[in-house]
Amino acid sequence: MQRVEHMTAGPWTRSRAQGRVRVSARTFVAILIGSACVSAIFASWLPLQMSIVTVFLFAGPHNWFEARYFLMRLPARFGRSRNFFIVAFSGIGLLTLTYVSLPALYYANIWSGANWPNAIAIWNTLMILWISALVLMRGKQKANRDWFWVLPLAFLLCSANWLSPELFSLAIVYVHPLVALWFLDRHLRRTKPEWSPAYRRCLMFLPLLVVAMLWQLSRTSSVTDDNGLFWRITQHAGAELLPNVSSHMLVSTHVFLELLHYGVWIVALPLIGATGAIWNVKTIPIASHSRGFPKLIGAILVCGFFAVALLWLGFSANYTLTRDIYFTIAMAHVLAEAPFLLRMI
């Protein structure tokens, strides 16, 4: 009797569950499209103001959530991935230290500004080669995968970098926020595979939205950058490198992409992958493992909270200087995304 009831109720139950999945997916899509449209409107309407507000509010918290997510993805024991993580962490440390030292050496008048493009080109080349090494090492861990194709691509990128190092670096500024969308895609495939097709269809809407923004803003005049902060914002968006392009369009596009980036790390990934309170270290494998490091992970998260508070205090006291320091040191989290994304592929 129980078996008959199970058999008769099964299709209805499955249909109802599928209905819930479809509703959830529709809601997810609606939130994604709605958030993207609202972000595009505000970024286009008030580019400078939105840049200031978004960095002030979300720069620190998004780094904390990103660090916690990386700790979640860190295995309790490296095993055969030991060499991969050694190369990954060594590269993050050395490249970040070198990147931070470049402006320090410049302002100390140790080398002339004429050497700046060459210094940037060398740093970009080292970054490309480091990522290529990680790709090859990750490929060896995957059965029936040959990722040797990365070498010709790496050499091609190195060539493009040396042709125009500063434009290559500017391209990284615009491409980097999109990496968060890739993280979300990989995470959905693992945790919410029924949402993955809908999400990918939403990604097809993104280029159309960006093109619409570019078309609308290409006819606008450049924003006023008559103070140090506004000037830094426009320079970060590439106004000096692209003088014939409206700085309004450049800043708006960059702010829009940054809003998407912050939204993924602060809202989407924590909600989709929620397994408990965000401050609970027991939800992190490397802390909950019998041979893990719960006190160390807890200390990292607590120090992260203090770092966010310190960043907010710095923004309140001297926004311009704190912004410059932040975007220099934040290169560490940009680099850290490469190995952790490769681990999810």
At 32, give phi and psi (nearest 5°): -60, -50
CA dist 246 → 58, 103, 276 (Å): 26, 27, 46
- Give the integer Cα–Cα distance in Å for 219 and 317: 36
pTM: 0.87
Residue 24, judged by CB atoms within 10 A of its CB (0-12, 13-18, 19+), counts as middle
Q: How far apart are CA 9 and CA 150, in angstroms?
A: 52
Is the alpha carbon torsion for 113, 238, 257, 308 positive or negative?
A: positive
Write down the pLDDT at residue 13: 37
Q: Helices in the chain by DSSP H: which ranges?
A: 2-45, 47-73, 82-107, 116-141, 150-163, 165-191, 196-217, 228-236, 247-263, 269-272, 285-288, 294-317, 319-329, 331-343
Q: Name the one residue in this structure whose structure tokens are 């006190």.
A: 295
3-state SS class at 239 = coil
Please give the average pLDDT of every successive group of 10 residues along the chain, which has 345 residues: 40 38 69 92 95 96 93 82 93 95 75 80 96 91 78 95 95 95 92 89 92 92 87 93 94 96 91 69 76 82 94 95 92 93 89
Per-residue three-class SS string for 65-81: HHHHHHHHHCCCCCHHH
Supply the angle between the helices 165-191 and 247-263 in degrees, to the nearest 10: 30
pLDDT at 340: 93
Distances (CA, A) of 312 to 5, 66, 303, 320: 59, 18, 14, 12
